[in-house]
Amino acid sequence: FALLKNTRMLKAVQKNATKGDPESVISAIDYYCRHKEWAMNVGDEKGLILDSVLTEVNPSTALELGTYCGYSTVRIARLLSPGSKLITVEFNPAFAAVARQIIAYAGLQDKVTLVEGPSGDLIPKMKARFGIKSFDFVFLDHWKDRYVPDTKLLEDCGLVSEGSVLLADNVICPGAPEYLKYVRNSPRYESRYYKSNLEYTKVEDGLEKSVFLG
Ligand SMILES: Cc1ncnc2c1ncn2[C@@H]1O[C@H](/C=C/CNC(=O)c2cc(-c3ccc(F)cc3)cc(O)c2O)C[C@H]1O
Ligand SMILES: [Mg+2]
């Protein structure tokens, strides 16, 4: 049962990873999901692309939509420069509870603010609640039919500015066709597809990187 799966994943982290060592937390989750129970983490292969885009952008403020168990939250937060912040949004309280513990086990709780609730409700409150001017980096990995509405919401709320980078998971599998159409046809984005594989499988998937042109 999915929720219990995340508890088993947390136990695998507590058993196999070293407290305060993000790399060992990432490896423990990847090992568990590859050899024991598949789970929808961005994974090690697409994770390397996430790492490289993140290092290139070096964001001061980053947003993640869809925390799930916190695997990509740890991947992102471990690469943030001192003083930079990551806000991650998750509306399932059971997933949020596991994610909080995995983020804390990695020792990254000071860089991460996990906000519980639907992204559509929380995005309009970001400026007031967290004093965010705009996000330098956004990782989209929540329900795929929310990618377009939430991107439009980020634009309307002035939460993306010239040079902001959106990186979307799963644009091939499960797929986000409307999102690809939106960012690839819009004159306001410069988009690029990074071909890869669905986490822990040989099925094609990829990430779409879209730079907001203002
Ligand atoms: C709107 C909104 N607000 C806040 N949190 C939200 C939200 N929509 C989802 N969330 C949260 O994000 C997480 C959801 C992510 C959705 N991701 C997926 O559905 C997903 C699915 C697959 C996949 C591929 C092939 C298969 F055969 C089966 C599955 C792979 C992935 O990498 C995925 O991200 C958990 C959920 O509670
Ligand atoms: Mg995903």
SS3 content of the chain, % helix, strand, coil (to 5): 50, 20, 30
CA distances, 12 to each of 42, 88, 98, 133 (Å): 18, 23, 12, 38
CA distances, 128 to each of 119, 120, 133, 157 (Å): 15, 15, 9, 11
State if pTM tops 0.90: yes
- Catalytic choice (169, 205, 208, 209): 169
Q: Give pLDDT tens digits for 60-70.
A: 999 999 999 99
Residue 185: both structure tokens together = 């046809």
Dihedral angle computed from the Cα positions of residues 177, 179, 184 and 187, in that order, rounded to the nearest 10 degrees: 150
Report the chain's mean pLDDT, rounded to a whole number: 98
Across the chain, how many H-helices and E-strands are there?
Answer: 9, 7
110 counts as catalytic: no
Residue recorded with tokens 């965010």? 132
Q: Characterize 72-107 residue by residue with b for buried, 16 or more Cβ atoms within 10 angstroms of its Cβ, and e for exposed.
A: bbbbbbbbbeeebbbbbbbbbeebbbbbbbbbebbb
Instruction: List the chain pLDDT tens, one digit each, 214 residues.
Output: 666 999 999 999 999 999 999 999 999 999 999 999 999 999 999 999 999 999 999 999 999 999 999 999 999 999 999 999 999 999 999 999 999 999 999 999 999 999 999 999 999 999 999 999 999 999 999 999 999 999 999 999 999 999 999 999 999 999 999 999 999 999 999 999 999 999 999 999 999 999 999 9
Ligand 1 neighbours by CB, cut-off 6 Å: 40, 66, 68, 89-92, 95, 118-119, 141-143, 146, 169-170, 173-174, 198-199
156 counts as catalytic: no
Q: Give pLDDT tens digits for 72-113.
A: 999 999 999 999 999 999 999 999 999 999 999 999 999 999
